[in-house]
Amino acid sequence: MYKIAVMGDRDSVYGFATLGMDTFPFTDAEEAGRKLRELAENEYAIVYITEALADKMEAQIDHYREQMLPAIILIPGVSGNTGKGINAVKHSVEQAVGSDIIFGN
């Protein structure tokens, strides 16, 4: 049975605890990267990471991009939407098609 984790600054993630997800408040990218690796090895199927935190640990996130599990999904935190999440989708389109034909801007 797999679990769901949420990583990010404390204010952005604590609410998810009530839904029964495991929250891991981090602001330091290096610690978060270590934790991410630990989570990936320990039956976490989905890891939601706030955009602000993900910005600082792209290399670690990219590492899991082509593996089936875990699915690492960027979510906006309290500090606002940086557009990084939608950019990740754009990146997929560019990788597959060669140029961005869906978003067109």
Partner 1 sequence: MATVNATRMELTRLKGKLVTATRGHKLLKDKRDELMRQFLDLVRVNRALREKVEEGLKNANRNFVLARATMSDEAVSVAFMAPKQEVSVEVDTKNVMSVNVPQFEIKTRTSDENDIYGYGYAFTSSDLDDAVHSLATLQQDMLKLAEVEKSCQLMAAEIEKTRRRVNALEHVMIPEYQANIKYITMKLDEAERSSQIRLMKVKDMMLEEAHHYSEKQNAAPLKD
Kindly indicate which of the ranges 27-35, 52-60, 74-82 contains the residues binding partner 1, using the contact rule CB under 8 A: 74-82
Residues 6+ apart with CB under 8 A from 36: 7, 47, 49, 57, 60, 61, 64, 72
Q: Considering all CA atoms of the chain, what is the largest pairwise distance in Å, rounded to the nearest integer?
A: 42
Total of chain residues touching partner 1, rule CB under 8 A: 40
Question: Out of 14, 27, 31, 38, which residue is the one contacting partner 1 (CB under 8 A)?
Answer: 14
Task: Output the smallest distance, CB 26 to partner 1, in A.
Answer: 17
- 92 in contact with partner 1 (CB under 8 A): yes
Does 102 engage in binding with partner 1 (CB under 8 A)? yes
Q: Which of 25, 29, 35, 46 binds partner 1 (CB under 8 A)?
A: 46
Q: What angle do CA 83, 84, 90 make, to 5 degrees?
A: 95
